[in-house]
Structure 1
Amino acid sequence: MRYASVTDRLAGLGGAKWEIHARARAMKAAGAEIIELTIGEPDVPTPAQLLSAAAGAMTSGRTGYSNGRGEQAVVAALAARYSARRGRQIGTDQVMCLPGTQTTLYAVLRTLVEAGDEVLLGDPMYATYEGLISQTGAKMVPVPLRPELGFRMQAADVAARITPRTRVLFLNSPHNPTGAVLRADDLRALCDVARAHDLWILSDEVYEDLVFPGVSFTSPLDLPDMADRVVVASSISKSHAAPGFRSGWCIGPAEFCQRLLPLSETMLFGSQPFIADMTALAVSEHSPVADGMAERFSRRAGLIAQTLDGVAGLRVHRPEAGMFALVDVRATGLSGAAFATSLLERTHVAVMPGESFGAGLQGWLRLSLTQSDDRTVEAAGRIAAHAATLLGNAA
């Protein structure tokens, strides 16, 4: 039988990247005690007031059809939020609501690029980005994010990879998996390159509210002269510990949103009104859980560095935001995938191999910061002991 070519383009770009996580969950279901440092699941429950808002909306009958742009209350709340945060007026005609950041990015890229186009994307990258680009038929062009420069994208590296087919510069700051946050100067230089070459900028900002103490966040949406070419995407999944509700959005030029609207209507024709009501409440107030998560994740990154950095040749990259820390295990002679596999089998610690996030993290691991301090230290100790064993065996 015949299948659409998109299924070939996406082969191996979905759940295969999460094989270690799936194996760990299977071992756990079979009774093994696993320390899970794989996915970015918030370490607190969804705030009670948001659950009450969703439940109350359902009880009051907010369970009917919605529309392709989003319920009026949440669209207005998002316009007000971004107007206040970015220091300029963002209208309701610049807002589109979709189920989660992943769906939002899918729809945005479908609106901006097609077969024959090119999208510039930092490497390392979040595991689903390659598939998001490939589904359109466009080509992903990796831009190296260098550890010695804090994994922050450099304008010169972008400019060197632009061709007549380049259409979009895809940014992610705060960055997953590295935890890097673009500085204002970095962003200005990147935006200047995008403007000079007539590129769209797509910015995934889902970790905006999880920036660590002492670090400042800047968005391309802050720059008025870029307003005609910037689209940002986000959700309440991380900031409000609500990943299962799948409530996201994008902010962009009014014309872009009008172009996206028929695609959104064709895909979904609206999200759940009761989730929209919950989201309107969430984005109208400062998150009650984000600051605490940021403080804990920063502290745990420090605990990992104290336990692992310099031990058995390991090197730890300290994040500036988000839910993850990176560990360079190349001194052991193993790939990240081989190290993560043997670590899970021998110590019951589950981590993500760097290779799931692009060629730039070959020989690295991504560790989630969402376990308790004690469990984090215990896992780091097992990683250190495992690395020492590997080096001893090699000697």
Structure 2
Amino acid sequence: MKTTAITRRLSDLGGAKWGLHFRAQELAAQGRDIVQLTIGEPDSPPPAALIDAAADAMRAGRTAYSKGEGEDGLRDALAQRYAARIGRAVTPAQVMCFPGTQTALYAVLMGVAEAGCEVLVGDPMYATYEGVVRASGADMVPVPLHADNGFRLNARDLAARITPRSRAILLNTPHNPTGAVLTRADLQAIGQVALDHDLWIISDEVYDELIHDDSEFVSPLSLPELADRTIVVSSISKSHAAPGFRSGWCIGPEAFTAALLPLSETMLFGNQPFIADMTELAIRQGSEVAPAMRTRFAARARTLADRLDNESPLRVLPPSAGMFAMINVAATGMDGETYAHHLLEHAGVAVMPGASFGATLTDWVRLALTAPDDDIARACDRMVAHANSLMAQPA
């Protein structure tokens, strides 16, 4: 039986890049003591008030069909939230609700790109970006992000890869996997490239409430000159420790959301009203769990850097946001893939090879900061001993 072109475009984007994670689970199931730091999920449960709100809404009969663009109360809450953030009006007509950021990204990419187009994406990148670009029929153009620039997208590197086929720039700020946060100056320079070449800017901002220490978050939506070409996607998955609720949205120009509505209706025929009610409460009240999460993640990153930088040849790039830290392993003489597998098998610590997220992270691994402090401490002990044992071996 034949399948369609989209299935062929996505056929090589399976779970191979998560092979080390699956191997760690296999070893743990065999009884090995494995510190698992591969996958990042919020280390708090969703606030009880959100669970109660969803349950109360279901009991109140909020289980019927919903509007394709989302429930009015939630869209109004999101419009008010973004207007307060950027300092100018945002209307509910600019808001569309989706089951999570991933679905929002898929719909938005289907709305701005198609076969014959190119979408520029920073490399490294979140694991699903290549899939949502390819699904649209467009080609993904990786733009290297460099460690000496803090893994922030450089406008000159971006401009060098523009072609007549370029249609959109997909940003992720704060960034997964590196924790980089684009500055206002970065966004102004990137925005000028978009203006010069009439490109869309899609900004994935799902980590916007997990900014560490003194870092500052700026959205391209806050720059007036970019407002008519910027589409923001986000959700409550990270900010409210609620990934399983699958509640996200996009914010864009009214003409864009109006054009996207038939696609959304074709995909989803509306969202769940009881989830919308719960999300509206989350947006209007703010997050009671994000402040403590960002404090914990920043503290764990500092612990990691203090231990590994001072006691081993490994070097940590402190994240400015999010729930991961990047570690350069080049001094061990191994690339990140080899190192990660050796660390797992010989020291019982599971981290993700950097190359799983892009070609520019060959010498890096990603470590999740979502494990308890004791696990982070145990991982540091093992990684220090493991790296120093590697250095002690004869060449």
TM over 0.5: yes
SS of the counterpart of 1:316? strand
- What is the rounded CA distance, in whole Å, between the counterparts of 2:142 and 2:126 in structure 1? 12
Aligned counterpart, 1:330: 330
User: Percent identity between the aligned chains?
Assistant: 59
CA contact (8 A) 1:312 1:391 kept: no
Aligned counterpart, 2:120: 120
Aligned counterpart, 2:269: 269
Q: Counterpart amino acid of 1:105?
A: L
Tell me by how many angstroms 1:15 deviates: 2.2
Aligned counterpart, 1:139: 139
- What is the rounded CA distance, in whole Å, between the counterparts of 1:235 and 1:43 in structure 2? 17
Aligned counterpart, 1:182: 182
Tell me by how many angstroms 1:16 deviates: 2.1
Aligned counterpart, 1:219: 219
Aligned counterpart, 2:390: 390
Tell me by how many angstroms 1:311 deviates: 4.4
Say whether residues 1:102 and 2:102 are aligned partners.
yes
Tell me by how many angstroms 1:65 deviates: 1.6
- What is the rounded CA distance, in whole Å, between the counterparts of 1:276 and 1:166 in structure 2? 35
Q: Using the TM superposition, name which of 72-81 and 384-393 deviates more.
A: 384-393
Q: Identify unmatched segments of 5+ residues in structure 1.
A: none
Tell me by how many angstroms 1:176 deviates: 0.6
- What is the rounded CA distance, in whole Å, between the counterparts of 2:309 and 2:134 in structure 1? 36
Q: Deviations over 1:84-141 (max 9, x none)?
A: 1111111011001001111110110011001111111111111111111111121111
Q: Counterpart amino acid of 2:101?
A: T
Query: Normalising by the residue count of structure 2, what TM-score does the alignment of the two structures yield?
Result: 0.97
Change (3 A) 1:394 1:310: farther
- What is the rounded CA distance, in whole Å, between the counterparts of 1:242 and 1:38 in structure 2? 19
Say whether residues 1:148 and 2:134 are aligned partners.
no
Q: Using the TM superposition, name which of 213-222 and 308-317 deviates more.
A: 308-317
CA contact (8 A) 1:327 1:366 kept: yes
Say whether residues 1:76 and 2:76 are aligned partners.
yes
Aligned counterpart, 2:374: 374
Aligned counterpart, 1:286: 286
Change (3 A) 1:358 1:51: same
Aligned counterpart, 2:17: 17
Aligned counterpart, 2:160: 160
Tell me by how many angstroms 1:268 deviates: 1.0
- What is the rounded CA distance, in whole Å, between the counterparts of 1:207 and 1:275 in structure 2? 20
RMSD (Å), alpha carbons: 1.3
- What is the rounded CA distance, in whole Å, between the counterparts of 1:394 and 1:243 in structure 2? 47
Aligned counterpart, 1:6: 6
Tell me by how many angstroms 1:384 deviates: 2.0
Tell me by how many angstroms 1:312 deviates: 4.1
SS of the counterpart of 1:233? strand
SS of the counterpart of 1:210? coil
Change (3 A) 1:266 1:30: farther
Aligned counterpart, 1:254: 254
Tell me by how many angstroms 1:342 deviates: 2.1
- What is the rounded CA distance, in whole Å, between the counterparts of 2:320 and 2:100 in structure 1? 23
Runs of 4+ with >6 A deviation: none
Query: Normalising by the residue count of structure 1, what TM-score does the alignment of the two structures yield?
Result: 0.97
Tell me by how many angstroms 1:363 deviates: 2.0
Q: Using the TM superposition, name which of 316-325 and 24-33 deviates more.
A: 24-33
Aligned counterpart, 1:346: 346
- What is the rounded CA distance, in whole Å, between the counterparts of 1:28 and 1:73 in structure 2? 45
Q: Identify unmatched segments of 5+ residues in structure 2.
A: none
CA contact (8 A) 1:14 1:128 kept: no
Aligned counterpart, 1:300: 300
CA contact (8 A) 1:116 1:138 kept: yes
Aligned counterpart, 1:54: 54
SS of the counterpart of 2:158? helix
